[in-house]
Amino acid sequence: MADKAELLVICGPTATGKTALSVALAQRLNGEIVCADSMQIYRGLSVGTAKVTPAEMQGVSHHLVDFLPPETRFSVAEYAELAKKCIADITARGKLPIVVGGTGLYLQSIVKGIDFSQQETNFSLRNQLQERLSKEGVKPLWDELRAADPACAAAIHPNNRVRVLRALELYLQTGKTKAQQLSESLPAERPYRDVLVGLDCAAREALYSRIDARVEEMLARGLLAEARLVFDNRARYVTAAQAIGYKELFPYFEGAAPLASCVAALKQASRNYAKRQLTWFRHMEGMHWFLSGAEDTEDAVVKLFIETCGERKAHGKTLSY
């Protein structure tokens, strides 16, 4: 416990300036960046996912960005494993790992140190359940789950097909209740001496107008061409095709809706997403909130980091504020 590695985490809803802040902090704290974003992992999907550009990186190393072909299936389990190795590696080189992203599930897996290694995905079982789901509906599956693991079923709304399916799948595969699974995968304490930084705007309206503006910016940077590519490959880009920024434009490519209304839908979807992200981050234990875009945010984060982890030479130079 005494020598837990330090970890700086930067999160917040879309369009709050995570990228710029994280690069600045990496330069100041001698850090490297580990991306925690479920869509920026994919190669080629750059404009729509607001991926860091090479110019924005300013020489700072970035990991787990732009490294997977868009047709690859991916999951938190794989992410957690990769991120863990990546963080360990950065730490071993005497640098500070800075995890940056907006995917709550991914962030949580790192911060809590969840161990997903127990079992492989059983695709045949999943497909089998999927078939039952489409034939019988959710209810029978939910009832089955309730009979097997009442506590787990109680926590999942019967309408939530995705979660009911997964919970039942996991039970049938392992024969263990959710509680048992949780206790086996969740360490007693957090693995890192983490400093959690959340970015948000002072007012929700301000956040929303920033998001709208950024969508326009994406359009100007060639979002349409990128979306077209995703549209043309939508059958193969299983996960990537559900990214916000592309699927909203599909009706336009299909000739079913004018571009303007698709853009409006895209902005709307982004705003809704930002709200969901906020819900997640607000409830992460130990979160420190800072104002998006404020000039003193960078200094304030450095100060917080030093206060939490101490002024030391750990990252190649004496940190001072």
Partner RNA sequence: GGUGCUGUAGCCAAGUGGUAAGGCAGAGGUCUGCAAAACCUCUAUGCGCCAGUUCAAAUCUGGCCAGCACCU
* DSSP H helical ranges for 149-258: 150-155, 161-174, 178-185, 204-220, 223-232, 250-253
| The token pair that represents 229 in the structure block | 């590519």
Smallest separation, CB 131 to RNA (Å) = 12
- Can residue 285 be called a binding residue for RNA (CB under 7 A)? no
* 117 sits near RNA (criterion: CB under 7 A): yes
- Closer to RNA by Cβ: residue 105 or 287: 105
> What residues from 289 to 318 belong to the interface with RNA (CB under 7 A)?
none
Nearest CA to 48 out of 304, 291, 245 is that of 245
Q: How far apart are CA 183 and CA 266, in angstroms?
A: 40
177 lies in the binding site for RNA (CB under 7 A): no
Read off the amino acid at residue 83. A
Considering only residues 228 to 267 of the shown chain, the ones binding RNA according to CB under 7 A are 238-239, 242-245
Task: Give how many residues touch RNA by CB under 7 A.
Answer: 63
What's the chain's length in residues?
Answer: 321
Q: Which is nearer to RNA, 277 or 297 (CB)?
A: 277
How far apart CA 129 and CA 125 sit, in angstroms, is 6
- Write b or e for each residue in 55-86: b if 16 or more Cβ atoms lie within 10 A of its Cβ, otherwise e: eeeeebebbbbbebebebebebbebbebbbeb
**Shortest separation between residue 283's beta carbon and RNA, angstroms:** 4
- Rule CB under 7 A: which of 77-116 touch RNA? 77-78, 102-106, 108-109, 114, 116
d(CA 169, CA 129): 7
Contact between 160 and RNA per CB under 7 A? yes
Q: Of residues 53, 61, 159, 261, which one binds RNA by CB under 7 A?
A: 159
What residues make contact with RNA under the rule CB under 7 A?
14, 37-40, 48-50, 73-78, 102-106, 108-109, 114, 116-121, 130, 155, 157, 159-163, 166, 170, 181-182, 185-186, 204, 208, 238-239, 242-245, 268-269, 271-273, 275-280, 282-283
